[in-house]
Structure 1
Amino acid sequence: MGVMRFLVQPSELLDDWPEVHRAYVTGFDRHVFPTQVELEGNLVKCQRPHSDSGKLHVAFPVEQHGRPVLTTTSLREREEPYLLPLELARGKIAELRDQSSAWEIIRMEIPESYRVAERRAFQLLAQASAVQNDPDECCRIARRALTAACDASDVLLKSYTSQRIAVCHRAPSNPPASLGCGLPWGTLNEETKDLFCSTFQAAAIPIEWKRVEPVEGQYHWDIIDQLVDCCAEHRQLPRGGPLIDLGAGGLPQWLQPWEHDILNMQSFVCDWVETAVSRYQGRIRLWEVSAYGNSGGALAISEENRLGLVARTLETAGRNDDDAQLFIRIDQPWGDYQARGHHRLSPFQFVDAVVRSNLGLAGVNLEINVGYRPRGGSSRDMLSFSRLIDYWSMLGIQIHVTLAFPSDVHEDPNANQDLEVATPVWRRPCNEDVQAEWVETFVPLLMSKPAVTGVYWTHLTDAFPHQFPHAGLIRADGTPKPSFEALRSQLSFGTTQPATL
């Protein structure tokens, strides 16, 4: 058993810092170790199965930046505790220098304002390092260094985004990603339909097994047919699925008697995939075949069997439509759920295994939902998003990103009651303006990434049943939230023509 110890000053931080219990340690290969966090006074102890060097990841309060997930450099185990703010500042500055150097090599223009902010952060880090014999003073200065480093990070990433968007404008053959949104299981009124069609280039159509076939052998296609017809009429790119939802409650209830009979379950699953893909062959060319295979939760299906089901469904979909582009959805793509110790494969390893099987996987859809629990992610900064996309792009396949961010903290009667909004969510208390600000910050960055071919918002309106509380762009009364206009403005970054295949 390996143990890493971190001292936190001032100790009052621990009075309102629930995120510390979700801290985790990663190895040199980004693999997340099962991590158990214990508090002893103002000492944070992270226990894990191995004693190798590792990086601590934890959401930490930073002035003017909320509580982003920050990472230390690789640290060895030792008896003397590390000073946590100091190590987080060291890790953040190291990330910044590494990223800015990499971008400078490819001739990105590094703004002088970034260099000034980064130098200020490093000077504060040096001052903090010089007074480690006074933990209170060291941690106080280190927290100032963290604020300066996060300021520098924002400057660098905003400059990167604007330069990438400019490149896309100069090279029309490589436009920014298409902008899409999830449609509800229901009939939209004309006003909502007009808002959607005038804003988005792509649509995620909820062809979900438990909705289409709630009773074995009884299919309900009417709503799906209407949505597909609407996309065709307005020349929008439809993406169907997820056909198989391997998350908690994602499969039809009538399938439960076969949860321990994987062979029969595969037969049912493949029959459903064949039925759906064949019905819309030629009308839907982009399919999200499965979702949440990496994290699981559906019935009692093991990780190994989930991987097998994902492979079989891809094979079936490809066999029934060789022109289709097939995607799978991955949630919590940083892999922080592995800290609970229930998963052997990281999200990246899960998809890599599918890619290596040569089953025709065209891309991966990374679901990033910020501010939800128990199945959600903590706040992260633009640099973390950028590095995540760069890492996943090593697979050499398309990347779609599906986003969710709440506009309210209160109960949402139309949302999944197993999910709630975790507070604090981002830099300021959660409201509709903060949701719009988050959209304006992260969506342009994602659309500028070369590997990203689609950016989708999780669902359009809060008026219909949906998964994530208050994440819709339109209120339950049918009026748009500020985030809707924030997303509409992203069309100016690329072509205003609908995306087609």
Structure 2
Amino acid sequence: MGVMRFQILPAETLNDWPEVHRAYITGFDRHVFPTQIEVEGNLIICQRPHSDSGKLHVAFPVEQYGRPVLNTTSLRERDEPYLLPLELARGKIAELRDQSSAWEIIHMEIPASFRQAEHQAFQLLARALSLQDDQEQCCRLACQALTAACHASDLLMKSYTDQRMAVCHRAPSNPPAPLGCALPWGEMNDNAQQMFCSTFQAAAIPIEWKRVEPVEGRYDWEVIDQLVDCCTDHRQLPRGGPLIDLGAGGLPNWLQQWEHDILNMQSFVCDWVETAVSRYQGRIRLWEVSAYGNTGGALALSEEHRLGLVARTLETASRNDDDAQLFIRVDQPWGDYQARGQHRLSPFQFVDAVIRSNLGLAGVNLEINVGYFPQGTLSRDMLSFSRLIDYWSTLGIQLHVTLAFPSSSTDDPLANRDLEVATPVWRKPCSEDVQAEWIETYVPLLMAKPAVTGVYWTHLSDVFPHRFPHAGLVRPDGTPKPAYEALRKQVNFGHG
């Protein structure tokens, strides 16, 4: 059993900091160790199965920046506790220097404002390091260094985004990623349809098994046919699926009788995939074959069984339409969920195993749901998003990103009752304006990343039943939120 201890001053910080219990430690390969967190006084005690060096990741309060997930540098175990703010400041500044140096090597222009802010952060860190005998003063200066480092990070990432977009505009052969959104299961009125078609270049069509075949052998294709026709009429790029939802409640209820008979279950699953792909062959060329195979929750399927089902469904889809581009979706792509110790494979390892099976996987859809619990992710800054995309791009396949962010923390009667908004979500309290500001901050960055070939919003409207509370771009009364206009601006900006 490995144990690492971190001290936090003032101790009152722990009084209103529930995110500390979601902290975890990663190894040199980014693998998340199962991590148990205990708080004793002003000490945070992290226990894990191994005693190797590691980085602590925790959502930490930073003035003006909310509670972004920050990480330390790689630390060894020792009897004396580490000062948490000091180690987080050291980790953030090291990350900034590493990234800015990497971009300098490829001749990216590093703005003077970043260098000034980074220098200020380093000076504050140096002062904190020199005052470790006065722990309260050391922690205070380290927190100031974190604020300065987060400001420097924003300056660097905004400069990167602007420079990447400028390159995209100069090179028509390398445009920004198209912007898409998931269509609702139901008939949209003329106003909603016009809003969708005038804004988005791509559409995620919810060809979901439990909706199309709620009773074994009885298919209802009417809604899907209408949505496919709508995309065809408006020349939008359709992406069908996910055909197989391996998350909790994602499969038809009638399939439960086969949950302990994996061979028969595979037969039913493959028959459904073959039916759906064959029906829309030539009309849908982009398929999201499965979703949530990495986290699971459907029936009693083990990680091994889920991986096998993902492979079989890809094989079936490829066999029935060899011209189709096949994707799978993973959620929580930073791998936070591994801290609970219930999963052996990281999300990256899960997808890598599928790629190595040589089944024709064209890409992966990274689902990032900020501010939701338990199936969401904590807030992170733009640099963390950028480094995540760079890491996943090493797989050499296309990346899609599907985003969700709430506009309110109140109850949402049409949302999944197992999900709630975990406040604070970002830098400011939850509101429609903050949702729009988040979109204006993160969506341009993702559209500018070379490996990203599609950025999607989780759902259009809160009028229809949906998964994530208050994540829609349209209010329940049918009027657009500020987030809708924010996304419209990104389409215009991204495509000149």
SS of 1:25's equivalent? Answer: strand
Kindly indicate whether the alpha-carbon contact (under 8 Å) linking 2:386 and 2:445 is maintained by their aligned counterparts in 1. Answer: yes
Kindly indicate whether the alpha-carbon contact (under 8 Å) linking 2:444 and 2:494 is maintained by their aligned counterparts in 1. Answer: no
* Aligned residue number for residue 283 of structure 1: 283
Alpha-carbon distance between aligned partners in 2 of 1:172 and 1:335, rounded to the nearest angstrom: 35
Deviations 1:350-385 (A, max 9, x none): 000011111000000000000000111000000000
Q: TM-score, normalised by structure 2?
A: 1.00
Alpha-carbon distance between aligned partners in 2 of 1:491 and 1:142, rounded to the nearest angstrom: 39
Q: TM-score, normalised by structure 1?
A: 0.99
Deviations 1:7-31 (A, max 9, x none): 0001110000000000000000000
Matched, 1:193 2:188: no
* Aligned residue number for residue 41 of structure 1: 41
Matched, 1:423 2:423: yes
Matched, 1:482 2:482: yes
Alpha-carbon distance between aligned partners in 2 of 1:348 and 1:236, rounded to the nearest angstrom: 30
Deviation at 1:491, TM superposition (A): 1.3
Alignment of 1:144-159 (within 5 A): 144-159=144-159
Kindly indicate whether the alpha-carbon contact (under 8 Å) linking 1:3 and 1:51 is maintained by their aligned counterparts in 2. Answer: yes
Deviation at 1:133, TM superposition (A): 1.1
SS of 1:484's equivalent? Answer: helix
Deviations 1:370-423 (A, max 9, x none): 000011100000000000000000000000000000000001011000001010
* Aligned residue number for residue 364 of structure 1: 364
Alignment of 1:233-244 (within 5 A): 233-244=233-244
* Aligned residue number for residue 76 of structure 2: 76
Matched, 1:306 2:309: no
Unaligned runs of 5+ in 1: 497-501
Alpha-carbon distance between aligned partners in 2 of 1:349 and 1:306, rounded to the nearest angstrom: 14
How many residues are treated as equivalent by the alignment?
A: 496
* Aligned residue number for residue 209 of structure 1: 209
* Aligned residue number for residue 225 of structure 1: 225
Alpha-carbon distance between aligned partners in 2 of 1:419 and 1:326, rounded to the nearest angstrom: 28
Alpha-carbon distance between aligned partners in 2 of 1:126 and 1:475, rounded to the nearest angstrom: 49
Alignment of 1:33-432 (within 5 A): 33-432=33-432
Kindly indicate whether the alpha-carbon contact (under 8 Å) linking 1:176 and 1:493 is maintained by their aligned counterparts in 2. Answer: no
SS of 1:198's equivalent? Answer: helix
* Aligned residue number for residue 443 of structure 2: 443
Alpha-carbon distance between aligned partners in 2 of 1:178 and 1:269, rounded to the nearest angstrom: 31
SS of 1:461's equivalent? Answer: coil
Deviations 1:292-318 (A, max 9, x none): 000000000000010000000000000
Deviations 1:331-356 (A, max 9, x none): 00000000000000000000000111
Alpha-carbon distance between aligned partners in 2 of 1:288 and 1:251, rounded to the nearest angstrom: 15
Alpha-carbon distance between aligned partners in 2 of 1:487 and 1:494, rounded to the nearest angstrom: 10
SS of 1:191's equivalent? Answer: helix
Report the AA paired with residue 185 of structure 2: W
SS of 2:326's equivalent? Answer: strand
Deviation at 1:134, TM superposition (A): 1.1
Report the AA paired with residue 25 of structure 1: I
Alpha-carbon distance between aligned partners in 2 of 1:265 and 1:314, rounded to the nearest angstrom: 15
Alpha-carbon distance between aligned partners in 2 of 1:134 and 1:47, rounded to the nearest angstrom: 27
Matched, 1:458 2:458: yes
Report the AA paired with residue 222 of structure 1: E
RMSD over aligned Cα, in angstroms?
0.6
Report the AA paired with residue 470 of structure 2: H
* Aligned residue number for residue 499 of structure 1: none
Deviations 1:440-465 (A, max 9, x none): 00000000000000000000000001
SS of 1:395's equivalent? Answer: coil
Deviations 1:203-222 (A, max 9, x none): 00000000000110111100
Kindly indicate whether the alpha-carbon contact (under 8 Å) linking 2:186 and 2:223 is maintained by their aligned counterparts in 1. Answer: yes
Deviations 1:133-165 (A, max 9, x none): 111110000000000000000000000000000
Alignment of 1:19-38 (within 5 A): 19-38=19-38
Alpha-carbon distance between aligned partners in 2 of 1:490 and 1:437, rounded to the nearest angstrom: 12
Tell me which stretches of 4 or more aligned residues in structure 1 moved more than 4 Å: none
SS of 2:394's equivalent? Answer: helix
Report the AA paired with residue 419 of structure 2: L
Deviation at 1:65, TM superposition (A): 0.4
Deviations 1:97-122 (A, max 9, x none): 00000000000000000000000000
Alpha-carbon distance between aligned partners in 2 of 1:491 and 1:14, rounded to the nearest angstrom: 42
Alpha-carbon distance between aligned partners in 2 of 1:316 and 1:493, rounded to the nearest angstrom: 39
SS of 2:199's equivalent? Answer: coil
Report the AA paired with residue 449 of structure 2: K
Report the AA paired with residue 19 of structure 2: E
